[in-house]
Amino acid sequence: MQDPIKTLFTECIQTQIAAADMLHEPIEAACGLLVDSLLQGRRVYCCGEGLAHATSRHFAHIMLTGLSFERPPFPVTSLHADYGALDYDRMFAQQIQAVGQANDLLVVFNASARAPRVSRAMEAALGRNMLIIAITQSSDEDIAGLLGPDDVEIRIPTYNTARASEHLLQIANMLCSVAEHQIFPQETE
């Protein structure tokens, strides 16, 4: 019988290897969309389904405060998860309807198969002609079908929610790091 901790490390490593092979192009496309949005002065909103909302908040935090070096804040807002809302399933969508503008960017995070609140936010974003970056995993049932030709999906190659959650955080950090270095290349010298 294999050690359960070693098994978890092995799963993590296998997911990392699969992600490195599969996700380079979609991450590069997402970084391009994010950087273009920031350079054009558009707003960036983000949200996550369930536990992935913590990754959304982390992403907004590092985009505002900086990840690799001190810099001006990027206009990124994590949508508020008001669990006492009267219409809980529409809590993100209502915020997008209130503040989203054409060509703003919505970044969504989901580590599980279902994402009812995030998919409703995406529908609201589509109604506002916003662009979308969706970071999902292999069993996603709600998000991929909502993406348009100018949107980007980063589909983490796993059905395991824990492995997907680990990669959500890693990809959030990658997006921020690449954006910082592309917008402020002088800081990398």
Overall pTM > 0.85: yes
Among 103, 117, 97, 105, residue whose Cα is nearest residue 53: 117
pLDDT reported for residue 12: 84
Could you give the C-alpha distances from 94 to 59, 62, 78, 90, 120, in angstroms and in order?
Answer: 21, 25, 13, 6, 9
Where are the chain's structural domains? 4-183
Q: 4-183 domain in CATH 1.20.20.10?
A: no
Positions of the chain with pLDDT under 70: 1, 83-88, 188-189
- Given this model, what pLDDT does residue 9 score? 86
Q: What six digits make up the tokens of 105?
A: 């960017």
pLDDT value for 16: 85
pLDDT for the residue 88: 66
